[in-house]
Structure 1
Amino acid sequence: MATDGMFHLRWVPGSAVSAADAESVVAAIQGTTATRLQPMLVEIVDLCMSPGAREILTGARFVSAVALVGATVVDRVMAAALLRDQDCPHRYFNSVDAAREWLSHLPVPDALEGSPV
């Protein structure tokens, strides 16, 4: 986690993200948050994500907001699939700085009652 209170996940461009990779991300974030969810910025440039990884990342709410950053039309399509049906604030950006700025202005909930964290 960065010093500004948000998670920043940068996948190496060209990576293939498996369900095990996604489970590791969720477990790591859940292991660092007690009762407060934090926003997350995710760089998804030139990423290939398995259906299992998408299911894990969209299945439970483990962050307060999500900003996805990409550079191509394919990245935008990937973001649309990941952000569909999310119950937290979410948005796609072409710039890390713009994504960070947007996330920094969102309120962070103390906890989510009744939601699996």
Structure 2
Amino acid sequence: MTSPAGHLRTKGTIMMEIALTCANASLNVDAQGTFHLRWAPGSSVSAADADAVVAAVRGVTGGRLQPMLFEVVDVAMSPGARVTLLGRRFVSAVALVGATMVDRVMAAALLREQECPHGYFTSVDDAREWLNRLPVPEELEESAV
């Protein structure tokens, strides 16, 4: 349920919705600073869509690196989207969530060249648990003081 201020309350965690210029995805950030990107199942992700996500994340973080959970169930990534997402370090860790062998193959292509901790999961809860176990990047620890 969304409040007028654009916050979501889920299981006691406040999440802020972040506006995107692409219509095939939703992006939220929780109170711990973890981004949750959900591409609409069956959608095709273009380079412009990927650029919109990178710009939105950078606009919220001011360049600090924070973890991200990507849901990529039944999503097709264009070569340009892959180049954008692989070519720009804009998150501290990546947890991709898919449901099919095709999702797993696409995730492997996206994760193969990542310089940050990354993993593939079939459950959002498992992905979030893994992200929560990772050490907090130093710049996030310093900004919390």
TM-score by length of 2: 0.74
Residue 75 in structure 1 maps to residue 103 in structure 2: yes
Residue 97 in structure 1 maps to residue 97 in structure 2: no
Query: Aligned equivalents of 2:103 and 2:63: distance in 1?
Result: 32
Task: Please state how far the C-alpha of 1:110 moved relative to its aligned partner.
Answer: 3.2
Secondary structure of residue in 2 paired with 1:36: coil
Residue 59 in structure 1 maps to residue 75 in structure 2: no
RMSD of the alignment, in Å? 1.0
State which drifts further: 30-39 or 78-87. Answer: 30-39
Q: Larger RCO: Structure 1 or Structure 2 (Cα < 8 Å, ≥ 6 residues apart)?
A: 1
What's 2:52 paired with?
24
Moved over 6 A (4+): none
Aligned partners of 1:43 and 1:70 also within 8 Å: yes
Query: Aligned equivalents of 1:38 and 1:108: distance in 2?
Result: 8
What's 2:38 paired with?
10
Task: Please state how far the C-alpha of 1:108 moved relative to its aligned partner.
Answer: 2.5
Greater Rg over alpha carbons, structure: 2
What's 2:138 paired with?
110
Aligned partners of 1:36 and 1:110 also within 8 Å: no
Figure out how many residues of one structure are paired with residues of the other and give that number: 111
Query: Aligned equivalents of 1:65 and 1:73: distance in 2?
Result: 22
Aligned partners of 1:37 and 1:108 also within 8 Å: no
Aligned partners of 1:44 and 1:70 also within 8 Å: yes
Q: Which amino acid is the alignment partner of residue 78 of structure 1? A: M
Residue 33 in structure 1 maps to residue 76 in structure 2: no
TM-score by length of 1: 0.91
Could you report, residue by residue, the CA deviation over 1:56-95 in whole angstroms, capped at 9, with x for unpaired residues? 0000110000000000000000000000111000000000
Query: Aligned equivalents of 2:30 and 2:90: distance in 1?
Result: 17
Task: Please state how far the C-alpha of 1:35 moved relative to its aligned partner.
Answer: 4.8
Secondary structure of residue in 1 paired with 2:138: coil
Query: Aligned equivalents of 1:35 and 1:47: distance in 2?
Result: 27
What's 1:45 paired with?
73
Query: Aligned equivalents of 2:89 and 2:63: distance in 1?
Result: 13
